[in-house]
A and B are shown apart, each in its own frame.
Chain A
């Protein structure tokens, strides 16, 4: 069995002549947490969109565990073990917290062409949903409408939903976006606990979190990969310093 779990091969996507993803190649090893960092406009979200199946690439391939998923639609990728959390909170805000997670579970427990039974009474859905919520500390908010949660709780719910689909690969798009220090630290702990069991591709701006969590880091600038390596290698890489970390040599630790 190959060590490479996710392979991105020469991926290319352009919008109106500007390459958002400029022949990107990188690989994510089984069980590792691979972070992708880069300045704003580097094309990180476009990359995730292509990996998730929301946006078709103009060229290149995405290979998951040996299988070419480049043209597979988003909803089917979820059933191949891929889960994603969104940079800007994307939840079913008019439904309850537990509804949100239950839907994620429902999607992976049989089909949903069932018209008779009350889904909210189905313990096959509610029990795992509550467990997932407990995992992120939201069990006591289960019955509340998702709209009423705080921003940090929304981010936790995003993770709970991603976990509920029992993925093998998680694409995390800035999970710590907009979080205060305490909430961010909590999120780091949550992610740390997942290391080893889940393969993760993490996009983040929070450098403390990145260096605390990442096994390897890839740096993306203007849609191109300029470096890939261990945190130490990246921290000391000249090209990276120039392009991204800039004068933060003292702070980057």
Chain B
């Protein structure tokens, strides 16, 4: 699919556009109907969507199953929280720190994890994120287990006053569009081809001359940085930063979103995040035991609807199952 040529848009292209338009219309709808909670819900949805899109870059396209991606959300959030705790206001410092910290964490953990494969990789990414979780829990100064409350959001020059909820929403939407665009370009580029090839047959890629380890590590870092930015947005959104954001079960939720939406597709993760957040919201309204039904849904998706929402849409529109990159 070529973004700049509408003729080539298929079901996926149109779904993406419609989805983004719905999202950008939410604040207006919410204020018209005096329903701020809807705007909040969708704001959180978009942040998780960005995180899921970043995870899908390495998981869906790259075949690297990271069960520790929530670490970046936490790191990004703390990169807003800790400076704020010291009364450091400028937003570019918060976000800059989030980018640097995420990149550093991704580089160090990726360098170790990417030497392993399969389930070892899954377990090690999980273990590293637990490590960061416990590290933050232990630091009493920044709230430890109780978390950290911040009293102002990242300060940017006008008109980007993040204290205004609608502005924060639009800024988040902007990052969502940007991250979708960036991933879209990466996936089609030479770099993306190497990543896709390495997922398919790493041994072959090495024999034709690719240092797959280094390429995958770079991809891993890019993914971490995007997610770290989502974390910084999350910290701004909630103004309450807790180590629980780094819990491995959060990483599981992110993977669930990617799989629910359809991994290896561009907008799938966003749909997955949307479905996750909206179903969670709806179910928890019905019963306090909503997690039970959620768990069943997850098991059901894995057993019966592995292609996720994207898969269901495509069979609904009668298209043959083709992975991206499988068509010319």
Direct contact of A and B (CB under 8 A): yes
A115 and B200 contact, Cβ closer than 8 Å, known pairs A120-B328, A161-B208? no
Q: State which residues 194-233 of B face A: CB under 8 Å.
A: 194, 196-197, 200-201, 203-212, 215, 218
Q: Is the CB of B209 within 8 A of A108?
A: yes
B268 within 8 A of A: no
C-alpha spacing A112/B190, complex, angstroms: 5
Pick the most buried of A90, A92, A95: most chain B CB atoms within 10 A of its CB.
A92
Q: Which of A69-100 contact B (CB under 8 A)?
A: 73-76, 78-79, 83-84, 86, 90-96, 98-99
With an 8 A cutoff between CB atoms, is A54 at the interface? Answer: yes
A118: CB under 8 A from chain B? yes
Q: Smallest distance from the beta carbon of A69 to chain B beta carbons, Å?
A: 14
Q: What are the interface flags for A219-237 relative to B under an 8 Å C-beta threshold, 1 for contact and 0 otherwise?
A: 0000000000000000000
| Cβ-closest chain A residue relative to B212 | A75
Residue of A nearest to B328 (CB): A143
Size of the chain A interface, CB-CB below 8 angstroms: 41
When the two chains form their complex, are residues B209 and A75 in contact, meaning their CB atoms are under 8 A apart? yes
Residues in A with CB closer than 8 Å to B190 are 106, 112-114, 117, 119, 122
CB-CB under 8 A for A103 and B208, given A94-B326, A95-B325, A115-B186: yes
Counting CB contacts under 8 A, is B7 at the interface? Answer: no
A103 touches B185 (CB 8 A): no
A90→B203 CA distance, assembly (Å): 8
> Are B200 and A92 in contact, with the CB atoms below 8 A?
yes
Q: Is residue B280 within 8 Å, beta carbon to beta carbon, of the partner chain?
A: no
Give, as a whole number of angstroms, the nearest-CB distance from A128 to chain B. Answer: 14
Q: A99-B325, A115-B186 are in contact. Are A84 and B207 (CB under 8 A)?
A: yes
Residues in chain A near residue B211, CB distance under 8 A: 73, 75-76
- State the Cβ distance, B2 to closest chain A Cβ, in Å: 7
Query: Which 8 pairs, one residue from A and one from B, show the smallest C-beta to C-beta distance?
Result: A78-B209, A107-B209, A92-B200, A112-B190, A114-B190, A143-B328, A75-B206, A118-B188
Please list 27 pairs of residues, one from A and one from B, whose beta carbons are closer than 8 Å in the complex, sorted by A's number. Answer: A54-B206, A74-B207, A75-B212, A78-B209, A91-B201, A91-B204, A92-B196, A92-B200, A94-B200, A94-B326, A96-B327, A96-B328, A103-B205, A103-B208, A107-B208, A108-B209, A112-B193, A113-B191, A113-B218, A114-B189, A115-B192, A119-B189, A120-B188, A120-B193, A120-B328, A142-B328, A161-B208
Residue numbers of B with Cβ under 8 A of A are: 2, 185-186, 188-194, 196-197, 200-201, 203-212, 215, 218, 322-323, 325-328
Instruction: List residues of A whose CB falls within 8 A of some B CB.
Output: 52, 54, 73-76, 78-79, 83-84, 86, 90-96, 98-99, 102-104, 106-108, 112-120, 122, 142-143, 145, 161, 165
